[in-house]
A = this chain, B = another copy of it.
């Protein structure tokens, strides 16, 4: 059989139009996941539960249109976990589109984005779910991420000296998340992020990937901070979470989220750290008469630290510690600590891998939970 397609992991198609008028790389991937959980009580494990899942299944299309200065990206979800989240605000339709964005390099190092895509939030989120160090993202991401939204982004990068790279990103967004069809509620969302790479760019864009699969010859570091303010936000986690419904429509309040994160890689070793903090002007949603609706903004902070070491045979051991401390007075929730031990075998890098991890979730005044996960990723 004659070859007519790229190497494994480099897309199903790499299309180039006549006169190089456009390109498109078509990719596809899926994750199949088996999970077992147990309650950990009095030193014993009880209530085992299983979950078999097509965790993610995606189609990706990216390239340039007409000019290499006009690039686009479309990502679609296929699995039920991917496309869930239908509501009256999404046309009661599944949230099929993840990304649909056009990026225009209109001047030197300035790029203007228009459409729906990830906001410049915490590093763990902007790492693709296909390139994670462990089976899935941490609790910090679950509670604090600002994920995707619709609007404009302006991106710029500049070098200071020989190596030091700075990236500045600003986003103007609708502020209620992805796939909204009913227009903006409350005010707009403004996100600014600054990324500092003092030792220069990572190999193979490794600053936005888990594991040091490129085995950096010299230490590489990214330190970054995001400040996000959602004016008159109507959801409990800025542009994510539950709607702050009240008797006359929506309760609105300003919600600010801060992320400080770092990525370090050297010679197979990787470290990622994230701190997140969310504050609201008035975190308790109220009806028109001032009574509480019962929904509150998830105020508080979180810390996530994780590290991995990749052996020569492409087995990797990793560890993660996550602590989530929501404001107890407002949310009524106690601190959660989670400890995760991971083992991965990269058969063809992140494109074909088996990942497994064991997590222990320690909760005050609530049951502790042990979770074992096994996941297979196939990524064309």
Chain A residues proximal to chain B, CB less than 8 Å: 1-8, 12-13, 15-24, 28, 30, 32, 34-35, 49-54, 57, 61, 65-66, 72, 74, 76, 78-81, 83-86, 90-97, 100-102, 114-116, 150-151, 173-174, 179-184, 188, 347-348, 352, 376, 378, 380
Known: A12-B24, A86-B92, A100-B32. A114 touches B376 (CB 8 A): yes
A180 to chain B, nearest CB (A): 8
Report which of B78, B80, B101, B174 forms a contact with A90, defined as CB distance below 8 A: B80
A320 to chain B, nearest CB (A): 23
Known: A54-B116, A100-B30. A184 touches B61 (CB 8 A): no
Q: Which residues of B contact A34 (CB under 8 A)?
A: 114
Q: Which residues of B contact A32 (CB under 8 A)?
A: 100-102, 114-116
Report which of B1, B52, B378 forms a contact with A174, defined as CB distance below 8 A: B52
> CA A68 – CA B78 in complex, angstroms?
25
Known: A80-B95, A96-B78. A183 touches B18 (CB 8 A): no
Q: Which residues of B contact A18 (CB under 8 A)?
A: 3, 5-7
List 19 additional A-B contacts (Cβ < 8 Å) besides A5-B16, A80-B97, A84-B181. A1-B20, A7-B17, A7-B19, A8-B66, A24-B380, A28-B61, A49-B183, A51-B183, A52-B151, A53-B183, A57-B97, A79-B100, A80-B93, A80-B179, A83-B94, A84-B93, A86-B93, A94-B94, A94-B96
Q: Which residues of B contact A83 (CB under 8 A)?
A: 91, 93-94, 96
User: Which B-chain residue is minimally distant from A5 (CB atoms)?
Assistant: B15
A61 to chain B, nearest CB (A): 7
Name which of A12, A22, A65 has the most chain B CB atoms within 10 A of its CB.
Answer: A22
Contact B183 A35, beta carbon cutoff 8 Å: yes
> CA A348 – CA B66 in complex, angstroms?
8
> CA A156 – CA B347 in complex, angstroms?
26
Q: Which residues of B contact A100 (CB under 8 A)?
A: 30, 32, 54, 57, 79
Contact B76 A78, beta carbon cutoff 8 Å: yes
Name which of A52, A347, A376 has the most chain B CB atoms within 10 A of its CB.
Answer: A52
Report which of B4, B54, B151 forms a contact with A97, defined as CB distance below 8 A: B54
Contact B115 A54, beta carbon cutoff 8 Å: yes
Q: Which residues of B contact A151 (CB under 8 A)?
A: 52
A66 to chain B, nearest CB (A): 5
Q: Which 10 A-B residue pairings sit nearest by Cβ, starting from the closest?
A: A84-B91, A51-B183, A52-B150, A8-B21, A5-B15, A50-B184, A84-B93, A54-B100, A93-B94, A8-B22
Q: Which residues of B contact A74 (CB under 8 A)?
A: 28, 30, 57
A148 to chain B, nearest CB (A): 11
A362 to chain B, nearest CB (A): 22
Q: Which residues of B contact A114 (CB under 8 A)?
A: 32, 34, 376
Contact B17 A8, beta carbon cutoff 8 Å: yes
> CA A312 – CA B52 in complex, angstroms?
48
> CA A184 – CA B96 in complex, angstroms?
25
> CA A35 – CA B180 in complex, angstroms?
13
A49 to chain B, nearest CB (A): 6
Known: A32-B115, A378-B72. A78 touches B97 (CB 8 A): yes
Interchain Cβ contacts under 8 Å between A and B, 13 examples: A1-B23, A5-B22, A13-B15, A50-B174, A50-B184, A54-B116, A57-B97, A65-B378, A66-B352, A80-B93, A81-B181, A85-B93, A94-B96
> CA A180 – CA B84 in complex, angstroms?
12
Known: A72-B378, A78-B76, A84-B181. A65 touches B95 (CB 8 A): no
